Structure 1
């Protein structure tokens, strides 16, 4: 599995390269060069899986064993999702006969971003230990991304994380989640302006390839493909819970309502649709 920039200027990048790059050098975002095909046998198997095991299967589609051996990948995901408060990680609550809620708030910061971010933190730690490297993570946040990113890497010796938050524009609980973490590798700063405004200098910074290389700089914002990859599992799991029929030819429609800000969360189900369209 190789990855290419959405702008076409960078091709043939492996998973490790994409994980640490965030943005591509041409300013685009990384996507798989091809989307794996799902057959009915795979869908039937996936229907009976726990959320945790479904994440493993989805990630294995995009992370070849030469990047992370399957046994190691399973262990990383078990560790990442083992911190969640609910045994099902993302239980489904039935509000009425035709309406259900996929509970994505059982992680450390009570935000859905804990799900993907916790896995990303484990992937980073795996490669950094393997290669004896150190990275600096730079994150701009409106609130939930920053706290989830901090929780995913706090205390990891090969990572320093710097989070920029818009002064006075986060909820009090989100601000406290970020500013009260006492770890040597966590650095949090409030800046003037909105979260959209602080994104601009961050984009410009990542456009300076020499600076990025010199400081081993990376981002775990929603531009990072690894986050989108893990989020693909949310929607398959939710679908299987709401449409448990074993007849994969019918695939009854399920309307999914996705709260999203910068469209990172809704990018994942668009990949689900492509996976299914190749059947």
Structure 2
């Protein structure tokens, strides 16, 4: 079953057919991935075969594995994921790393467009001294973020999830760091990557340029940050330099960037006008 599913998914265009098959068959059978090999000789029941084929078939339509299983590991957390939120991606862990390094002791952090809560919860998990406000416009996505928060009760006293269009609901509050993974695709990207059509379009597509929402976040963050506060953004391939320009126009200095594991600049950050603040981490 595993080998045939792997070959079939490869023919359907999966970039990770073996991993997909392992995760989905394991999910259908209630087994960890290692269990697929320790029980490899056990024949499957008819019901088990039907369950496995159903999940593999959904993946063959390029539905994200995380939507099929309803779960996605991110950092040290295991998050609920539904079609109402973007699937958290390993690239975003670079952004989390930068936030964890930059945030001063006891920082007040805002996560612009929190989605599943991946960034907000991971930062709070790794930095027990900070407080984080997740901001999300979509009520459906906010519900997912709240469930993920409640599934991690050790974080509930330091993380709040707020329905907000941008930073409107926290106008007048001051933050030491704002982080965001705003939409950064253009419509044509959906034709290049059909699998993205399974995810919420409002969280993916920014506009004809792709950096429209970065400009909005920069403007809102500039008004909300304490002196010397940081803005950290995720960017798409080829967007680091344009977004660096956006940060400069919005009044941010000391702009730096860091690449993901593929060598693509993925996190970019800058500091608001300030008196004294910690040094920037190495790019």
TM-score computed with the length of structure 2 as normaliser = 0.35
**Structure whose residues are more often strand by fraction:** 2
Higher relative contact order (CA 8 A, sep 6+): 1
